[in-house]
Amino acid sequence: MISFADVVEVVQLAAAATLAVGLVGGVLLHRLRGHSVRWLLGGLAVVTVLSVLASVLVVAGAMFLSPHDRDVVVVVIVAAGIGGLVVALVLGRVVTGGAAQLASSARAMSSGAYEPPRQPLPRELAAVAAEMANTDARLRESRQREIALEESRRELVAWVSHDLRSPLAGIRAMAEALEDGVASSTEDRARYYSGIRRETDRLSVMVDDLFELSRIHARALRLVIEQVGVEDLVSELLASADPLARSKGVRLVGSADSGAAVPVDPREMSRALHNLLSNAIHHTPSDGTVRMTASVSEDHAFFAVADACGGIPEDDLPRVFDVAFRGVAARTPTMDSGAGLGLAIARGIVEAHAGEIDVRNAGAGCCFEVRIPLVQL
C-alpha cells in the first residue's frame, strides 16, 4: 500500500508538471482567444492531455516505474487524448453551428425578418436566443409604434395646416378691412375687433393643444400627483363647462362618490376630463343631455362622460383617440371643434397616470370611460 509520504511526493510532482504545462497552455489559449470556439475547445483538450502526460512521466521517473509500465500508461493517455480531442472538436462544431445561426438571426433582426435558430442549442446559447426573440418582439412593437406615430404626425400636419389657414385668413381679411377703412362705423369696427379677438383665441387654443401634444409624445409631461376629491373634481369640471353647454342648449348633469379621492395631477387630469366634456357638448344636439359620473372601487377611480351624439360608427371606434381624428356622420366637425387634438391629449394624459381610456356606443350616443389606479407607480 502506498505510504502517505509517497502520496505527498506524487502530488507535488504532478502539481509541478501540471503547472509548467498549464503556463504554456495558458499562453496558447490566450493566443487562440480570437479564434473559433472549436479551436479553443481543441486547445483545451490538448493542454489537458499534455498536463496528464507530463505528470505521469515525471511521477514515473521519480518512482522508478518500469519502462514497460510507463510506455503502456503513455499509450493509454495519448489514445484517450486523441479521443478527447475528437470529441472536443465535434462539440465545438455544435457550439459554432449554433453561434452561426444566432449571428444569422441577429443580422436578420435589423430588417424585421428574425427567425429563431431551428437546431437545439446549448443552454447558454438558448438563453441568448430567447433574449433575441424577446428583443425582436419589442423591436417589432417599436417599429409599429413609430409607423403609427409618423402617420399621425403627417395627418396632424395636414389637419393643422388646414385649420390654421381659416382663422389666419379671417384675421387678415378683417385687419385689411380696418386698414382700408371699409369698416367706417363704430359698430362695424367693434364687430371686426371682436372677430379678430375670437379668431386669435382659436389660434391660441390650437397652439396650446399642439404644445401639450408634443410634450406627451416626447414623454416630457411631468405630473405633480396629489390626492384630489372626485366630487370636487367633477363639480369644478361641470362648472367650467356650463357656459359652453348653455350656449349650445345642452343639459349638463353629473354625480360623484362623496368623500372619495384619487391620486392625480389636478391640472392635467382636469384638462383631460374637460376635453371629454367639451367633445361631448360639441357633438350633442340642442336639448340633449351630457352626463358625467365618477366612482371609486377598491383599486381604481372611474370617470364616465356620456353624450347624445347619435353614436360613433363601429369602424371609427378604434380611431377615436388618434391625432386629428374628428369622425364623420353624427360627429361632423364644426367651426369651433378645434384641430381634433382634444381626445388624443386626453388619452396621453390618462396613460401618463398609468390609466386607461375607452369609448363605446351607449344609448342615444357614446360613453367615454377613464380608469385611474388608486396607487400610482
The 3-state secondary structure of the chain, one letter per residue:
CCCHHHHHHHHHHHHHHHHHHHHHHHHHHHHCCCCCHHHHHHHHHHHHHHHHHHHHHHHHHHCCCCHHHHHHHHHHHHHHHHHHHHHHHHHHHHHHHHHHHHHHHHHHHCCCCCCCCCCCCCHHHHHHHHHHHHHHHHHHHHHHHHHHHHHHHHHHHHHHHHHHHHHHHHHHHHHHHHHHCCCCCHHHHHHHHHHHHHHHHHHHHHHHHHHHHHHHHCCCCCCCCEEEEHHHHHHHHHHHHHHHHHHHCCEEEEEECCCCEEEECHHHHHHHHHHHHHHHHHCCCCCCEEEEEEEECCCEEEEEEECCCCCCCHHHHHHCCCCCCCCCHHHCCCCCCCCCCHHHHHHHHHHHCCCEEEEEEECCEEEEEEEEECCCC
pLDDT value at 276 more than 90: yes
* Residues 6 or more apart in contact with residue 267 via CB below 8 angstroms: 224
pTM, 2 dp? 0.59
CA distance 344 to 291: 21
Higher pLDDT, 254 or 98: 254
pLDDT value at 268 more than 60: yes
pLDDT value at 180 more than 90: no
Q: For cell 364616465, name the residue.
A: 304
Higher pLDDT, 241 or 81: 241
Of all residues in the chain, the percent with pLDDT exceeding 70 is 63
In the chain, where are the structural domains located?
A: 4-121, 146-217, 226-373
Mean local confidence (pLDDT), 225-240? 92
Higher pLDDT, 222 or 96: 222
Mean local confidence (pLDDT), 304-312? 90
Nearest to 269 by CA among 218, 233, 322: 233
What is the rounded average pLDDT for all residues in the chain? 77
pLDDT value at 137 more than 50: yes
Give the best-scoring range by mean pLDDT among 8-22, 67-81, 314-328. 314-328
What is the model's pLDDT at position 333? 39
Split at pLDDT 50, 70, 90, the class of 222 is confident
What is the model's pLDDT at position 334? 44
pLDDT value at 61 more than 90: no
What is the model's pLDDT at position 357? 93
Split at pLDDT 50, 70, 90, the class of 29 is low
What is the model's pLDDT at position 221? 83
pLDDT value at 131 more than 60: yes
Superfamily of segment(s) 226-373: Histidine kinase-like ATPase, C-terminal domain (3.30.565.10)
Mean local confidence (pLDDT), 317-330? 66
Split at pLDDT 50, 70, 90, the class of 330 is very low
Mean local confidence (pLDDT), 221-245? 91
User: For the chain, how long is the longest CA-to-CA vector?
Assistant: 131
pLDDT value at 369 more than 60: yes
* Residues 6 or more apart in contact with residue 209 via CB below 8 angstroms: 338, 339, 341, 342, 345
Pick the CATH number of 146-217 from 3.40.50.2300, 1.10.287.130, 3.40.50.970, 1.10.645.10: 1.10.287.130
Find how far residue 253's CA is from the centre of its chain: 38
pLDDT value at 285 more than 60: yes
CA distance 266 to 349: 11
What is the model's pLDDT at position 77? 66
Give the best-scoring range by mean pLDDT among 43-47, 78-82, 256-260, 358-362. 358-362
The answer to which of 42-46, 195-199, 255-259, 288-292 has the lowest mean pLDDT is 42-46
What is the model's pLDDT at position 230? 92
Q: In angstroms, how far is the first alpha carbon of the chain from the final one?
A: 72
Split at pLDDT 50, 70, 90, the class of 63 is low
